[in-house]
Each structure stands twice: as structure tokens, then as C-alpha cells.
Chain A
């Protein structure tokens, strides 16, 4: 305990001031209003890695950092599919993860929607045809929206989420 306190005191504040991003803010504001309209002000996302190279994860993690700060738009990542409205699935679905992904989908309460992230999630990407994978996310669970890219940037992820919600509302 004392060691932790000492480290915290010695290190001080290491983050840099946030530079406002115009385009991002606009997408974010629209996302926030959509989330407020359709999900009672908060959208809970469970991220599932079905066999990704972690490139997409890196970008998704970027969303939660101080620059993008997804939570201010009412969107947050949760630790269990039991708490989630949305599954954000990355990677080609490997044979080992297919059943786990199916179970995750079953464990998510209705109503729910699934967003496949990255080129691999769309159709297997560069791994298409490999013996080790089952295919894209859509081959295992019903997919409502796809965010392409290898990997998609955090801004593209935000725009994709916005589009997915908009499509669901219609």
C-alpha cells in the first residue's frame, strides 16, 4: 500500500492536455443523441475477440482513452454479456472460439445487436479459406452491422456504431 502511494506521489500527472477534434465531436454528439433516444441514455457494449490479431482491439481501446473518451457520449464497455446491449465482435471466428461466441450471443439479453468489426470480422479477411477458421462473424451469429477496415480507426468505429444504431432504429 505504501509503495503504491509513494509511486503515485512521485510520478505525478503524466497525461497531456486534450486537443479538441472537430469532426469527432460532431459524430460523437450525434451518437450521444441517438443513444439517448433509443437506449435510454446509455449503450453497453461487450467486446468479443473471436480470433483477432488484436489490431482492432488496439483501436477499440483507443476509444476509451482520454482523446476519444467514449463514455462521455453515453457508450461504455462492460465486463459481461449479461450487462450488454451490443456485441462488438472482432477477428475471423476461429474454430476454438465459435462455440464461445455462440454462447456469448445467447447470454446477451434481448433486445441486442451485433456489430462485426474489421475486414476479418466481415468475411474472414486475409484468413478467408483457412482450415482454422469458421468464417466471418455472420457465419456464426446474426450480424446487424459491419465496420470494415484493417483495422478501422477509432473515428470509423464511432461512425460505424452511429450507422448501426440508425439502421436499427429504422
Chain B
């Protein structure tokens, strides 16, 4: 039964990818079922941008479902999984408000049930609750924005909005942009609307986390693309600037939180926030360049954003699947209880390493190419004239550079503490390799990371065509020959294939040269250097906490760490310590300064309004009388 369920989802995914590919290639089609639901009926349209996201969903669903076949908890939540996948596929095809909101809400509800897989644990219930609240707050914004536009344009169809966008009043457009962007940003996990992400991703089973992080939050990006570049036409510059600033904040803050996080899946969730930020940098720059009339640069920014979207789906899905294999093998998500897994799970470790290198933007893998393109798009801000816009771009450049370095440090930690050295717990010592379907899924995604990194000259023209369709400009030759990618004429070029060859040669040539000159191949085996200690145990290893501590100190104004030290002395002498408990937690400024005051305000408001509801029927009758009188007077 499980096989049948996931097998059919795999076929569905392949079909979706095929249809999406047809859309990217320029195929178009419309399906209209007006009798099914009121207010415009169901209407689906295939266009290049929707096709790209549909293909992305389809291609991500296949490995996730293959993985689920081998995942021990795969047989729970099959129905919700199917609904989740199907509704995600409908979102990028939806052509009117009704269709879009039905698919969007189904997607949210199905993923809510998947997050709430463990109905016994308080943690899981809280995660699902926060997720439900945040996603519905986002839905409320979307609904308001779409109804506003629908009422103003007089049609719920997105194609009509596009046609009427330039004729709309600026205030209406701005209001619609703010509402829709807030709704989509909540789903994408943009700071400060990110709070649900680090709770929901760890609670869901890993193949679902991979889809939620790899694909579902990308639908938030899809929405932001539609809002900022498509439905509302060419907007004022502050739209792009707002997106750029949100991207800069998300990327830096996401990676800062990831650095001090020792729950493997939460760490990955924070990295999703970071990567959403990087994608937003590309979208924001595209929007700003488009306003300034620099179509070629807008195209470049959008290509970078789309490329990073696809790349993030590949490596983040890979990392979540790898983390799932590790969590299943060790029974914990706490990195401090792992270690030594590279010997016990070599396949998982190799795939996780490829994913880590890709997300840390190391050449020649895919993360590098898209971050490089994003950098190039940002660096060409010198062609803009406005000082304010240039400052915003500078902020984006600085934050992207900082993010790159911190992400590197974070994945040294994530891979090193999890997979290297001695096992830190019995569970880690007894870990076992993932089952064959899980390995197959991870290998496929690792291959995708390598292919997307080595073949930018093949994929960039595809993204270029999609971006040109969105911006409605002529697709420019951003390609180059088959090995070297050239950007904006002679501005910059890159050949990841050449980098790969040089890297491989720097490793192989010395080996070959040593053999040629007849160097001695004698080796000497000796234990790992442990500062001369006689006994080495896992307790002497570097911990994730220790690794993150320097960052905690440098950025203490952001983390605001608190220290708690509990020492229990021997009853007879203070010189003998029985037990030491040390805690060094960080506090979230968003919880303390944004959500808590907002919730307190809400509670206070509710209490004030609650005074009206006394339970006395006489009072209620008085209310009705007053309301009636008011109505009569006003009318």
C-alpha cells in the first residue's frame, strides 16, 4: 500500500515535471472549469514562470518520494502527503484568485497535518500551532490583497490584473503590493515572519521537510516574483529596495541563528531563511534595475534568483534527506550526541558533504554559480544614478559576503561535529547506513547539485528565457560558449568546468609527479593527535557549542546570550564538586521585541473587548437597541 501510494506520487511528480518543462520551453495552455466552484471557477494556465516552478516541484517530489519508500515512518500521513504534493503543483498554474487560494490553503492544511505527525509530543503540537497561525495570518493578507485588486480591476483573473496594472491608482497598487508581499513573505520565511520555519521543519518527517524547505517556501518566492515583477506591472523603486533590504536581513540573520543552533534539522531550517534572503537579493535587484530601465541587468538579477531557487531546492532537499537518515540512525537531532558517523554511514556522509559544499557556495558546485551571479547583479549597481538605491545595493553586497563566510563556518560545524571524530553517544556508535531507496534519493540529488554546478552554460539560457518572459523583454545572450559563462558582455566570465579540472589536477598532479620521481610510498600509521593524552574519549572532542562560541561573543549584541552556572558542591567541602550544570542559551530578539509585545497587545485588547460579553441577556438587548438607533440615525 505504501509502495503504491508513493509510487503513484513519483509518477505524478514525473508528469508534473514534464508539463512544467513543456511550459518552460514556451508551451502554453489553459484549463477552465467554471461550473466547479463559484467566483470565477477553476482556471489553470501554463506559462514559463509557472512551468519552471511546476518542473521544480515535480523534480523535487521524485527523490523525496523514493526516499519515503525506504523511510521507516513513511507509512503515516500518506494521504496528506499526496494532497500536499498535488496542491503545490496547482499553485503555480492557478490563473485566478479562487483557484490560487484553494490550492494555497490546501497546501497549508496538508503540510499542517504533516507537521503534526507526532500528536503526542507538546513540541510538535506547538510547532504545528505556530505554523497554522503564521500561515493563516499570511493567508489573510493574501486574501485582502487579492480582493482589493479584484475589486479595483473588476476581475479575479491574474491576466486581467496584468493588463490593468498600469492604470491602477498608485495607492491601490502600493496597498496591494504590501498585503500580497507580506502574505508571500510569510510563506517564504522572510525575517521577521520566519518564526514558524525552525519549529515546523524539524517536526515534520524528513522527506516532508525536504519538500517544505526545498519547494513549498519557494512558492512564497513564486508569489513574490509575481507580485513584484508581473501582476502589478513596473512598480515604484521602493518595492525593489524593500525586497533587497528584506533579503539582506534574512540572509545574515538566518545564518547567524543557524550558527548557534545544534539541532541538525533546525540548523537547516535557519539556512532556508538565509537562502530565501539570497534569492530575494536577486529579485530586489531585478526590480530596481527594471524601474531604472536597465533591462539586461534586470534579466541578470532575475536569472540569479531563479538559479538560486532551483539550486536551493536541490541542495536543501539533499541536506534534509541526509539529516533524516542521520536522525533516524541515531535517534536524536542533537548534534552534540552524534559524531563518527562517516565510518558508519559513508554514503550519507558523502552526500551530506556534497550538499554542505554546495550550500556553502564552494566552487565548482551549484551554490557557487548562483551566488556568483547574484554578486554580479548587485555589483553592477554603479550603472544606477540614485544614491539611495546604491546604498541599498551596497548593503546587499556586504550582507551577501558576510553570509557566505558564516555559512561556510556553519557547515564546517554541521558536517564536522555530525560525521567526524569519535561517536559522542552510544546511539551514534551503533548507527547504521540508510536503506537503499534513501541512498538512491540522496545520490540523485547530489548528482543534481554537481550537474547544476558544472553546466551553468546549459541552464542559464533556460532561466534567461523564463526571466525574459516574466520581464517581457527580449532574451539576451547571457550564455557564452559551452564551457565559459559570460555575463553582461565583458563584465565577467566563469567556467566551473575549468575550476573543477584545476581542483582535480591540484590533487592528482602532485600524486602523479611523486610517483614519477619515485618518491617513497612508505606510510606510518599513528593515532590521532590528542595533545599527548594517554586515553582519548569522545568527551575531549570539540563540541558544536565550543565551535559556535566565538561567534556568540562577537555578535553578542544580537544573540544576547545569558549564562547559567549551577555547581553542586560536596556537603563537607567546597573543594569537591559533585555536579556542574552549565547553560548558555541565546534569546531571540524577534520573540522578545516583536511577537511578545504584539501578543500582549492582542491579549489586552481581547480582555478589553471581553468586558462587553457579560452573559447578561438584558445587556445584549441594550446593545441591539443602541445598534438599531445608530443605524436609524446614520441611515
Contact = CB atoms under 8 A, between A and B. Distances in A.
Nearest to B553: A1
Interface stretch (B464-472, B554-562, B607-615): B554-562
A107 B529 contact: yes
A61 interface: no
Interface string A89-104: 0000000010111011
B526 A1 contact: no
A1 B526 CA distance: 41
Nearest to B533: A100
Interface string A1-17: 11010000000000000
A80 interface: yes
Nearest to A50: B532
Contact of B534 (A2, A99, A106): A99
Given A106-B526, A107-B526, A100 B557 contact: no
A82 interface: yes
A1 B556 CA distance: 7
Interface in A1-46: 1-2, 4
A104 B527 CA distance: 11
B524 to A, nearest CB: 8
A99 B527 CA distance: 14
Interface residues of A, number: 15
Contacts of A103: 532
Contacts of A80: 529
B150 to A, nearest CB: 49
A81 interface: yes
A4 B532 CA distance: 35
Q: Do most interface residues of chain B lie in helix, strand or loop, or is the interface mixed?
A: loop
Contacts of B555: 1
B557 A101 contact: no
A82 B533 contact: no
B80 to A, nearest CB: 45
Contacts of B524: 110
Contact of B557 (A1, A104, A110): A1
B293 to A, nearest CB: 40
Interface in B501-529: 524, 526, 529
Contacts of B526: 106-107
B226 to A, nearest CB: 39
Given A106-B526, A107-B526, A2 B557 contact: yes
A106 B527 CA distance: 9
Contacts of A97: 532
B532 to A, nearest CB: 3
A100 B556 contact: no
A39 B132 CA distance: 66
A1 B402 CA distance: 15
A106 B528 CA distance: 11
Contact of B532 (A1, A99, A110): A99
B529 A81 contact: yes
A104 B554 contact: no
B529 A1 contact: no
A106 B526 CA distance: 8
Nearest to B526: A106
Interface in A117-159: none
Nearest to A102: B532
Interface in B569-625: none
A104 B532 contact: yes
Nearest to B555: A1
Nearest to B530: A103
Contacts of A101: 532
B108 to A, nearest CB: 39
Contacts of B534: 99-100
Contacts of A82: 529
B529 A100 contact: no
Nearest to B558: A1
Contacts of A2: 557
Contacts of B529: 80-82, 107
B402 to A, nearest CB: 13
Interface in A63-121: 80-82, 97, 99-101, 103-104, 106-107, 110
Nearest to A106: B526
A103 B535 CA distance: 12
Contacts of B531: 100
A148 B556 CA distance: 48
B554 A100 contact: no
A66 B18 CA distance: 68
Contacts of B556: 1
Q: Pick the most buried of B526, B532, B534, B554: most chain A CB atoms within 10 A of its CB.
A: B532
A100 B556 CA distance: 38
B526 to A, nearest CB: 6
Nearest to A48: B532
A94 to B, nearest CB: 13
B406 to A, nearest CB: 14
A1 B534 CA distance: 39
Nearest to B554: A1
Contacts of A4: 554
A89 to B, nearest CB: 12
A104 B534 CA distance: 11
A4 B524 CA distance: 45
Interface string B541-561: 000000000000011110000
A100 B529 CA distance: 11
B300 to A, nearest CB: 34
A80 B533 CA distance: 13
Q: Pick the most buried of A2, A81, A107: most chain B CB atoms within 10 A of its CB.
A: A107
Nearest to B534: A99
Q: Pick the most buried of A81, A101, A103: most chain B CB atoms within 10 A of its CB.
A: A103
Contacts of A106: 526
Given A1-B557, A80-B529, A99-B534, 15 more contacts: A1-B554, A1-B556, A4-B554, A81-B529, A97-B532, A99-B532, A100-B531, A100-B533, A100-B534, A103-B532, A104-B532, A107-B526, A107-B529, A107-B532, A110-B524
19 contacts: A1-B554, A1-B555, A1-B556, A1-B557, A2-B557, A4-B554, A80-B529, A81-B529, A82-B529, A99-B532, A99-B534, A100-B531, A100-B532, A100-B533, A100-B534, A103-B532, A104-B532, A107-B532, A110-B524
Interface of B: 524, 526, 529, 531-534, 554-557
Q: Which 5 A-B pairs have the closest CB atoms?
A: A100-B532, A103-B532, A1-B554, A107-B529, A104-B532
Interface of A: 1-2, 4, 80-82, 97, 99-101, 103-104, 106-107, 110
